[in-house]
Chains A and B, each alone.
Chain A
């Protein structure tokens, strides 16, 4: 027996309903998967963004849709129709995702351009601002420079003042040093002098330093000096050589024995004898003054022999440093 395909389809459909549970239905319900697929595809293909961004993907969706529709038209099992409808829906969804991603890429691209513009604009602004700032800074720099010059001039002046003060201080120091040196020298000289005077056995009196030559150095009534007397004078000679500014006043004295005129003459001649001895030693005569005082100015009592011996003397007064005798008798 031969069955017509149409009748067979009907039998198949009913068997299909029992044999294949999944996705099979005797009457197609509203809004089948195929309906959904069709709607989705129509919407997407009408969207210019999707059509432009994912044409190949839309073609895949279209092919699946066609396949599904053909199966349905041919009365094929719902499961098969639904399968290709499902593929259609998924392919359309993929196309929309691609379009979406495409839009994001396009945005990034133009945003990069926008960013470049902003940076350029900003840098131009910055250049302008920088120029203004440079001008301002230049003006300030000039001002600062002038101030610095002023300060420099002041500093120089201060430096000169300081130098001058320094020089003054130096002078003062030198003067002090010189004065100190002089003082030291004077002190030394003084010390030397003291030493020398001490060596002379001179005594400090109100008339100055006095060196006394005893009468034993003169023979009685004699005017010549003994050799011992000459030796006493050596130190004086040395002193006078060492202190060329110093002069001496040689004063002769006698005891009271004998007449006063005689004693006056004797005392003078004794003073002269000392003068001669000094001249012989090379002392300039102008530095030696002589004077006889006779019996005057006794230093001891003439009543005793020792007293009279003491009175018979020559006193050599040493001048001051200038060669003068301010307290001369």
Chain B
């Protein structure tokens, strides 16, 4: 693809244009990352609702901060930066959610383990009552 380049005044290949874009901080061609921002927000909300502030506070806080930065970058027109931040926010929130769900599953398993142990103790006592 050949595009007229502002810098060199001649047709340059797309790679050079990309370079120009890179020179300018990679902003002018990337689309608005609306989808990424929506997905990120959904993920953060979901993680919050599940109680991630208790079970995975660091990941949740990071996700929230990155989402905020993503919105700021988007407002400034730094769409690529905004997209990256949104994607990272999303994956951080998803990790926070996974950690929360895992922690709850572990708690449940512990309860069951304790319950069974108590039951076993009771059965043992019934079969072998302690000497008076």
Contacts and interface: CB of A to CB of B under 8 A. Distances in A.
Contact of A107 (B15, B92, B99, B112): B112
Given A8-B19, A101-B102, A119 B95 contact: no
Contacts of A189: none
Interface in B93-132: 94-95, 98-99, 101-102, 105-106, 108-109, 112-113, 115-116, 119-120, 122-123, 126-127
A121 interface: yes
A12 interface: yes
Q: How large is the interface on B (under 10, 10 to 19, 20 to 34, 35 or more residues)?
A: 35 or more
A114 interface: yes
B37 to A, nearest CB: 16
B64 to A, nearest CB: 15
Contacts, number: 103
Interface stretch (A35-43, A92-100, A212-220): A92-100
Interface stretch (A15-23, A298-306, A317-325): A15-23
Given A83-B84, A87-B87, A15 B22 contact: yes
Contacts of B112: 107-108, 111-112, 115
Q: How large is the interface on A (under 10, 10 to 19, 20 to 34, 35 or more residues)?
A: 35 or more
A76 to B, nearest CB: 9
Contact of A104 (B16, B19, B109): B109
B102 A104 contact: yes
Interface string A101-145: 100110110011011001101100110010000000000000000
A5 B22 contact: no
Contacts of B113: 107, 111
Interface string A152-179: 0000000000000000000000000000
Interface of B is mostly: helix
Given A3-B16, A107-B112, A122-B123, A12 B91 contact: no
Interface of A is mostly: helix
Given A104-B105, A105-B105, A98 B22 contact: no
Given A19-B25, A104-B106, A5 B13 contact: yes
A149 B123 CA distance: 41
A121 B98 contact: no
Interface of B: 8, 10, 12-13, 15-16, 19, 22-23, 25-26, 84, 87-88, 91-92, 94-95, 98-99, 101-102, 105-106, 108-109, 112-113, 115-116, 119-120, 122-123, 126-127
10 contacts: A11-B19, A12-B19, A20-B25, A77-B22, A86-B88, A98-B102, A101-B101, A104-B108, A111-B116, A118-B119
Given A94-B95, A97-B99, A111-B113, 5 more contacts: A20-B25, A93-B98, A108-B105, A111-B112, A111-B116
Interface of A: 1-3, 5, 8, 11-12, 15-16, 19-20, 77, 79, 83, 86-87, 90-91, 93-94, 97-98, 100-101, 104-105, 107-108, 111-112, 114-115, 118-119, 121-122, 125-126, 129
A-B interface, 9 closest residue pairs, ranked by CB to CB distance from nearest: A97-B98, A104-B105, A101-B102, A90-B91, A104-B109, A101-B105, A111-B112, A97-B102, A94-B98
